[in-house]
Amino acid sequence: MIDLSKENTRVLVVDDEESLRLTFQMFLSREGYGPVDTASTFGEALSLVETRDYDLIVSDIVMDGASGIDLLRTVKDQGLECPMVMVTGYPNINTAAEAVRLGAFDYLAKPVKKEDLLRTARMALQQYSLQNANKELAREKEQYRKYLDAVFASVRDLILTVDPECRLVRLNAAARKWFPEQVEDELIGKSLAEIGQIANLFMSDVKAVLETGQEVAEHRVEHICEDGQSGIFRISAVPLKDDGGAFLGVVLVARDVSQLEALEQKGNRVKLHRICGSSQVMQNVYTLIENVGKVDTTVLIMGESGTGKELVAEALHAESPRRDMPLVKMDCTAISESLLESELFGHKKGAFTGADRDRVGHLLNADGGTLFLDEIGDISPLMQLRLLRFLQERTFYPVGSDQAISVDVRVVAATNADLRKKVESGEFREDLYYRLKVLGIVLPPLRARGHDLEILIDIFLKRFSSRLGKPVSGVSDQALAVMRNHQWRGNVRELEHVMERACVLCENDTITVDHLPIELREPDQANIQPHSQPQLLNELESEEVRIVNTLQRTYGNKAQAARILGIDRSTLYRKIKLYGIDPDGVLDSAEE
């Protein structure tokens, strides 16, 4: 709720009796309200109301010329919403009824006691504060609804929302295209079974969620396209609940994967600012960034380590109206807990040991721009509370200061943790979680981005060959196959490090399997722990495995295998004989 502190509460007292004006002004001022203005006539009061914003008006009804009722009526006609308390020495039912009908908060009869005046003023201001808070909440909800509508409309996946009776509640533009013969108004409210063949494909998933209340994992269903060809939908469904957990229905998401290749052939982007990739999942991320970037609200970026959350924060800032103002980055894990508060909010000289001068925090440095808080899931409960208060009030206190500072900052946070689970375990405040996740962007892992791997390899190859002054221009098919099979738990950051290492080791123009780390070349061998057998035997076993793996990768080409292994062909033949390796058996196992 909005807090109207007394010292920031402007009051107008209107009365043609000077003694009463001054008495009321004194009572209210001593109570801490202020500034308290006074007016002796209707005209003087109206002039003040037209030039200043008041939180409360206390007016006598009976005055020379126009009455307090006239002032009340004029204030309401002009759309001013501050509460008015009417005072008169001649109370009667008709006057009270007229004042209430016109919107007066209360009616006081003279002589007015100090306690009655202050109590009525306090109650009027509390109601005014509550009304303002409700209006602000309604405005935020409406703005949030518009944000969601924009995101909902931009997603290329087909999205349907269904109520507990399997009736269609809402569908996005992508879903609308599957029902060309029916207008949207005719579709809303109908059962899926009544809509058509495509909708019937989704019925079993919707019923499964309705019956169990559980999410239906993504699976694939065949369908017939408009051209008569068979296609495939990738479908998932989740329960829809309100903030209180009440069940509202089902959200179903379907992607026509048979159309993905056609979409990619239409010139999908391969880059947005510093983010690279042409996969469909990244196209969706690009669209989200462009839509969300223009909206001045808090964003939470989620994804595994190394997926590019910082690059997304930069792109959001670049797409926003704040692009010409500062983007300030803060890694919440790189700063000790004792210094984190000072780094974010700043501190006054002498606030703690070592604070030998005033320090401006990141929040003030980001004024007018964007503050990026990386790994927000690692901050302490105390910092969670202080950040929540800032997000609610947009003001903060530097460490050691009692002077509040207001700033205009957009907060973008990122985490690789599951904040929902942290909320459930009590490690993260639920109210802060929802404040941060007004809009969320989930970054896919590299292993889910298809051919983006090749695009990123090419980018890193050019970057590091230029930086190192080496003529490295490509990657062998075998090395590329190894990288395609890797899980990339460290995502794009891990790939970047692998490519830098490979360029450092490469002495010619092509990166080969030998230039890759052992965890990529021999993932099973990389995790084997040393044992008590002689070191020579370990080396022999490792050499044998390496020769077998290399023969498999070269499809039995011994000359190529020898080059990869860095030995003569004759030496390779001797090793094959020494270890009893059957080249034909190696090929058979590779084919399997």
Q: Do the domain assignments include residue 329?
A: yes
Q: DSSP string of 452-467?
A: HHHHHHHHHHHHHHHH
Judgement on whether residues 538 and 517 belong to the same structural domain of the protein: no
Q: CA separation (Å) from 209 to 18, 194, 205, 216?
A: 72, 19, 6, 7
Of 485, 510, 525, the one marking the end of a domain is: 525
* Length of the chain counted residue by residue: 592
Q: What is the pLDDT of residue 588?
A: 54
* CATH label of the domain that carries residue 179: 3.30.450.20
Give the CA-trace dihedral at 328, 333, 337, 339, to 10 degrees: -30
Rounded Cα distance, 441 and 319, in Å:
15
Given this model, what pLDDT does residue 500 score? 92
Determine the pLDDT at residue 413.
Answer: 96
Q: How far is C-alpha 591 from the geometric centre of its chain's CA atoms?
A: 46
Predicted local distance difference test score (pLDDT) of residue 264:
44
Please tell me whether residues 108 and 12 are part of one structural domain. yes
**Closest alpha carbon to 281 in 157, 132, 466:** 157
Q: Are residues 411 and 296 in the same domain?
A: yes
Structure tokens, 213:
């209340």
Q: Is 302:324 a contact under the CB 8 Å cutoff?
A: no
Whether 316 and 425 map to the same domain: the answer is yes
Q: Domain check: are 86 and 163 in the same one?
A: no
Residue 124 lies in a domain: yes
- Residues 285 and 432 both lie in one domain: yes
Q: Which amino acid is at 314?
A: E
CB of 311 closer than 8 Å to CB of 273: yes
**Among 427, 508, 441, 501, CA closest to 470:** 508
CATH number, domain with residue 388: 3.40.50.300
Q: Are residues 420 and 559 in the same domain?
A: no
Say yes or no: 15 and 87 in one domain.
yes
Which pLDDT score is estimated for 89? 75
146 within domain boundaries: no
Record the tokens describing residue 267, joined without a space. 């010139």
Note whether 411 and 554 are same-domain residues.
no
Decide if 144 is inside a domain: no
As a whole number of angstroms, the distance between CA 150 and CA 160 comes to 16
Which has the closest alpha carbon to 20: 53, 54, 58, 55?
Answer: 58
- From 525, 548, 569, the end of a domain falls on 525
- State whether 518 and 544 are in the same domain: no
Residue 504 amino acid letter = V
Residue 61 and residue 69 in contact, taking contact as beta carbons nearer than 8 Å: yes
DSSP annotation of 6 reads G
Residue 538 CA to residue 339 CA, distance in Å, equals 49
List phi, psi (to 5°) of 576. Answer: -60, -40
Q: Are residues 422 and 486 in the same domain?
A: no
Phi–psi pair at 256, nearest 5 degrees:
-80, 90
Domains: count for the chain: 5
- 1 lies in some domain: no
The answer to whether residue 145 sits within a structural domain is: no
Q: Which domain holds residue 476?
A: 447-525
Is residue 354 a part of any domain in this protein?
A: yes
Is 499 part of any domain?
Answer: yes
231 strand-pairing partners: 223
First vs last Cα of the chain: how many Å apart? Answer: 67
pTM over cut 0.75: no
Alpha carbon separation from 529 to 488, 490, 533, 534 (Å, rounded): 22, 22, 12, 14
The three state secondary structure string of 86-133 is EEECCCCHHHHHHHHHCCCCEEEECCCCHHHHHHHHHHHHHHHHHHHH
> Do 429 and 379 form a contact (C-beta atoms < 8 A)?
no
Going residue by residue through the chain (592 aa), what tens digit of pLDDT does each one get?
334 456 678 999 998 888 888 999 999 998 888 889 999 888 889 889 888 888 999 988 888 777 888 888 888 888 888 898 988 776 665 666 677 777 888 878 888 889 989 998 988 888 888 888 778 777 777 776 676 666 556 567 788 888 998 888 888 877 777 776 666 667 888 888 777 667 777 888 888 998 998 988 888 777 766 555 567 778 888 998 887 778 889 988 887 765 544 444 445 788 899 999 988 899 999 999 999 999 889 999 999 989 999 999 999 999 999 999 999 999 887 777 778 888 899 888 877 777 778 888 899 999 999 999 999 998 989 899 999 999 998 999 898 888 889 999 999 999 998 999 999 999 999 999 999 998 899 999 999 998 899 999 999 999 999 999 998 988 998 999 999 999 998 899 999 999 999 999 998 889 999 999 888 887 755 444 433 333 433 443 457 777 887 787 776 777 777 767 767 666 777 778 777 787 766 555 544 4
Residue 556: which CATH number? 1.10.10
Last residue of a domain, one of 481, 504, 525: 525
In this structure, are 428 and 332 located in the same domain? yes
Domain containing 465 — which CATH number? 1.10.8.60
Within 13 Å, how many C-alpha atoms sit on residue 172's CB side? 19
Rounded Cα gap, residues 98 and 120, in angstroms: 19
Q: Tell me how far apart the alpha carbons of residues 110 and 469 are, in angstroms, rounded to a whole number.
A: 92
